Amino acid sequence: MIDFRYHLVSIVAIFLALALGIVLGSTTLSNSVSDTLRQQANSAAKTAQQARLAQRDLRHQLDGEEQFTKALSPQIVAERLKGQSVVLIETPGAGNDSIEQISRLAKDSGAAVTGRVTIQKKLLDDDQQTTVDELATQLKAEDVKFPENAGAYGKAGAVLAGALVTRDPAKSGREDAAGGAVLNGFKQAGYVTTSGKPGQHATLAVMVAPAAAYAYAGGGDDNKALISLATALDGAGRGSVVGGPPTSAQEGGLIAALRDSDAADSVSTVDVVDTAAGQVVTILALQNEIGGKSGQYGTGAGASGYLPSPAPTAKNG
């Protein structure tokens, strides 16, 4: 007959076997999971290392291409803008390095650089529109015409363009009293600053866009104000180009806004102006503008290609 001690021993044996099974099973499972995780971690580390090496190689390649383009840029642009002159327009938030590089390259292309006009943020402030309108109306020269139904910035663009650029070869390189009064009036109001002699009436204009979109309220209106100036410069001179870094062609950027506007039919844009190649493209775009051709160049949305196609020849008419 089976006694109580036998049952007790049997139950203990069963629980011991169950516990041993759980321990052995969990140990095997734990080792299996650990092995899998270890393999995945090693694979991820290998992939990350390969990505770092690929990024390094790409960086070296881009640096080499930038160095190559910088070295050959003067030869590439030589004589392309011979007999022309360029005025530079700096918008609030634009990078100074790009402006300096374009200035040097314009000179390498045979053009004279009259000077630089730096647009101050105050000009774009909403509470200044009435004052801007009154000032533009007061300083308007007899030969300047306001666009139909022009607002404050349409008028300001026309007045400033009349003081900065010209299509008339006889007027190019010369300052006049009316243009000087316009620049002095806008400077005294705190709307612009100048360097060089931008009042000497260039034939071409380059506006450099801000690196980042105007994210504050009214940023879209600021873009419209600058587009009005770029359009006026294009109409009063032999052509204008708006250049900026790739971010300027992203949503909210000045170049993106221009490409979505009617101004894209007449004003050229370059969204890689922070690179040596993009600065060469800016000179090519100016050369095309002289011939009455405009285009959208670079790598961002709305660009028709990296550079004009076909590229203009080294000699221009």
The residues, ordered by sequence, that sit 6+ positions from 39 with a Cβ below 8 Å of its Cβ are: none
pLDDT given at position 317: 44
Structure tokens that stand for 39 in this block: 């393999």
Judge if pTM exceeds 0.75.
Answer: yes
More confident residue, 65 or 147: 147
* Mean pLDDT of the residues in the chain: 87
pLDDT number for residue 146 = 93
Q: How far is CA 223 from the centre of its chain?
A: 13
The pLDDT value given to residue 316 = 46
Q: Per-residue confidence at 40, pLDDT binned at 50, 70, 90? A: confident
pLDDT in tens, 242-267: 999 999 999 999 999 999 999 999 99
Integer Cα distance of 274 and 228 in angstroms: 23
Q: What is the mean pLDDT of residues 30-47?
A: 74
Looking at the chain, the whole-number percentage of residues with pLDDT higher than 70 is: 84
Among the ranges given (16-20, 176-180, 195-199), the one the predictor scored with the smallest mean pLDDT: 16-20
Phi/psi of residue 16, nearest 5 degrees: -65, -40
Residues 191, 131 contacting (CB under 8 angstroms): no
Token duo for residue 206: 């380059």
Mean pLDDT computed over 287-297: 96
Counts for the chain of helices (H) and strands (E), in that order: 9, 7
- What is the share, in percent, of the chain residues with pLDDT greater than 90? 65
195-208 burial: b if 16+ Cβ within 10 Å, else e: eebbbbbbbbbbbb
